[in-house]
Amino acid sequence: MLNSKKTIFAVIAILVIAAGVLFLVFANRDVSSRKVRVAVTNTALMAPLFVMHDLNLLENHAPGIALELVVVDSGTVINEAFIAGSIDAAGLNVTNFLVGADKSIPYGILSSLAYGFNSVQTNAPDRIKSFADIAENDRIAVTTLTGSSALLLYLASERYFGSYDALEGNIVTMNSADALLALINKSGITLAVSSLTERIKANEAGCVTILEDTDIHNEGIMNNFLLFNKEFYEDNSDIALCVLAALEDAIALIEIKDDRAISSITSRTGLDNDTFIEYLDLGFFKYVLDDFSTLEMVIDISHKVNLISSRPSVTDLILNSGQ
């Protein structure tokens, strides 16, 4: 009996000590003061991040952790914010990320986020029925030679003509509004690489889509990723993984067309609810958190066109690849 009492007291003492240790751990790491600052641009490709923030989904996985959504104008601004240390994480397109990583910005990929929806339109569908029909005298408009639209063009050139620079003499750069107008009016160009908005307007005007991201890779080209500052991730991997879990919840709500989720997205992007749902049903918006299948391909073409100076491995770019 005495031995039993001693055992009980010993167990209680151990529990008290353990509780004291846990108290000291959490006292030194004040949960209520911890937060994560996530940068986004106001595009529908960032939709899961909007929903996670506006519906306070992180609270379900990390009670007491504050989520600050920092809205900026471009991926370039996001890279500058990472350098300045004013953000901890961001949704960012793959080209801006690869350029930033090439310049040693200390961040890495935690997960994929959304496929791109670039495509190629033509105003001469009777002659140009596929990408392979592009002739030497055809002019193709892109907004920039270093963005995701240009990467689609390089990848298609490599597939259909055997070399990424096979159509180098066909490419002209102009802003998206001018390219759309020139395409519709058949003024100087016969093709344009378009984002979703320009594609729909071009199709309404009689232009035809001859190439999509899905023609290059099954589901499309993963164009947007969730990034974390490496130091923040090392010190706060628990928060980062809770953000990932909250994003899964957000995507689930988007997929079932939850009214609150849809309103969160449309209030930020300028799309109306019916239009967003239509685009979602058409497959223009696809959100996936674990697809790195096209990253190697994009790294390869980015290096070939000198967008980046070296060719990193996929595992070097992913934060938890060794886990």
Collect all residues with Cβ–Cβ distance below 8 Å to 284 and sequence separation of at least 6.
Answer: 117, 196
Burial of 122 from C-beta contacts in 10 A (0-12 / 13-18 / 19+): buried
63, 281 Cβ separation under 8 angstroms = no
What percent of the chain has pLDDT above 70? 89
Q: What is the reported pLDDT for 149?
A: 87
pLDDT at 32 over 80: no
- Domains in the chain, ordered, with CATH? 34-116+221-317 (3.40.190.10), 119-216 (3.40.190.10)
Q: What is the reported pLDDT for 218?
A: 85
Q: What is the reported pLDDT for 3?
A: 46
Nearest CA-CA partner of 114 in 271, 209, 255: 255
Please count the CA atoms within 13 angstroms of the CA of 123 that sit on its side-chain side: 22
Q: What is the reported pLDDT for 321?
A: 58
Collect all residues with Cβ–Cβ distance below 8 Å to 257 and sequence separation of at least 6.
Answer: 277, 280
Q: What is the reported pLDDT for 10?
A: 43
Give kind and range of the element (H or E) at residue 169.
none
Q: What is the reported pLDDT for 1?
A: 45
